[in-house]
């Protein structure tokens, strides 16, 4: 039972589609953030900036910030940096008191995939 030219072309097309599909299935992964994960800021940041591996949609992305004693901290609306759609920027409406903070984020990338995660930082 040998391979015909048609069968070889079909097999080749399948392999090529499988190998190239991985890029289309990518998700926006958190690459870095400010303040940095597990860092200690000497003063309260004015905003939180999260940078992802691909562009994100601000209308479907955001975060929740909790502070000492699990108190929810009020933030401004999330927006995407006008010059870099991989950066989600969330202004802080008031200075953060000293203590430990948790950021729970969720984003929808420009290709429609949802991702979420969490990181911690503290303010001295």
Question: How does pLDDT run across 85-111, given as a tens digit for each residue?
Answer: 999 999 999 999 999 999 999 999 999
Q: What is the mean pLDDT of residues 37-65?
A: 98
What's the CATH number for 27-123?
2.60.40.1220
Burial class (CB in 10 A: 0-12, 13-18, 19+), 87: buried
User: For residue 13, what pLDDT is reported?
Assistant: 54
Helix, strand and coil content of the chain, in percent to the nearest 5, comes to 20, 45, 35
User: For residue 22, what pLDDT is reported?
Assistant: 43
User: Where are the chain's structural domains?
Assistant: 27-123
* pLDDT at 112 exceeding the cut of 60: yes
User: For residue 74, what pLDDT is reported?
Assistant: 96
Q: Which two tokens stand for residue 120?
A: 């911690």
Angle at 115 between CA 110 and CA 120, to 5 degrees: 125
Question: How does pLDDT run across 4-37, given as a tens digit for each residue?
Answer: 666 655 655 544 444 444 444 579 999 999 999 9
């Amino acid at each position: 039972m040998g391979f015909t030219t048609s069968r070889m072309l079909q097999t080749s097309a399948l392999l090529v589609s499988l190998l190239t599909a991985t890029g289309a299935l990518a998700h926006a992964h958190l690459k870095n953030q400010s303040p940095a994960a597990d860092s200690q800021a000497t003063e309260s940041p004015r905003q939180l900036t999260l940078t992802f591996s691909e562009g994100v949609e601000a209308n479907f992305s955001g975060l929740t910030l909790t502070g000492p004693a699990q108190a929810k901290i009020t933030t401004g609306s999330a927006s995407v940096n006008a010059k870099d759609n991989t950066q989600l920027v969330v202004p802080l409406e008031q200075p953060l008191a000293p203590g430990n903070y948790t950021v729970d984020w969720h984003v929808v990338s420009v290709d429609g995939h949802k991702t979420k995660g969490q990181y911690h930082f503290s303010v001295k």
